[in-house]
Amino acid sequence: MALDSDALAQLCAALRRFVDEELIPAEAEVAETDAIPGRIVAQMRELGLFGLTAPEAFGGLGLTMEEEVRAIFELGRAAPAFRSMFATNVGIGMQGIAIDGTPEQKAKYLPRLASGELIGSFALTEPEVGSDAGSVRTTARREGDTYVLNGAKRFITNAPHAGLFTVMARTDPAQKGASGVSAFAVERGTPGLSLGKPEKKMGLQGAHVCDVILKDCRVPASALIGGVEGQGFKTAMKVLDKGRLHIAAACAGLSERILDDMLAYAVGRRQFGKTLADFQLIQAMFADSKAEAYAARCMVIDAARKRDAGLNVSVEASCAKMFASEAVGRIADRNVQVHGGNGYIRDYRAEQLYRDARLFRIYEGTTQIQQIVIAKALVSEARAAAGR
Q: Active-site residues: which are they?
A: 364
CA nearest 149: which of 98, 118, 183, 125? 183
CA nearest 62: which of 17, 1, 13, 116? 1
> Looking at the DSSP assignment, which residues form a beta bridge with residue 214?
151, 193
Residue 212: how many other CB atoms lie within 10 Å: 26
Residue 56: how many other CB atoms lie within 10 Å: 12
CA distance 2 to 64: 6
CA distance 328 to 332: 6
Task: Label the pairing between strands 139-143 and 146-157.
Answer: antiparallel
In 64-160, beta strands by DSSP E = 120-123, 139-143, 146-157
Q: Is residue 345 classed exposed, middle or buried when 0-12, 13-18 and 19+ CB atoms within 10 A define those classes?
A: exposed
Packing angle between helix 80-90 and helix 65-75, nearest 10 degrees? 160
CA distance 230 to 120: 22
CA distance 235 to 184: 11
Spatial neighbors of 209 by CB under 8 A, at least 6 apart, are 155, 156, 157, 158, 159, 160, 198, 199, 201
CA distance 188 to 117: 13
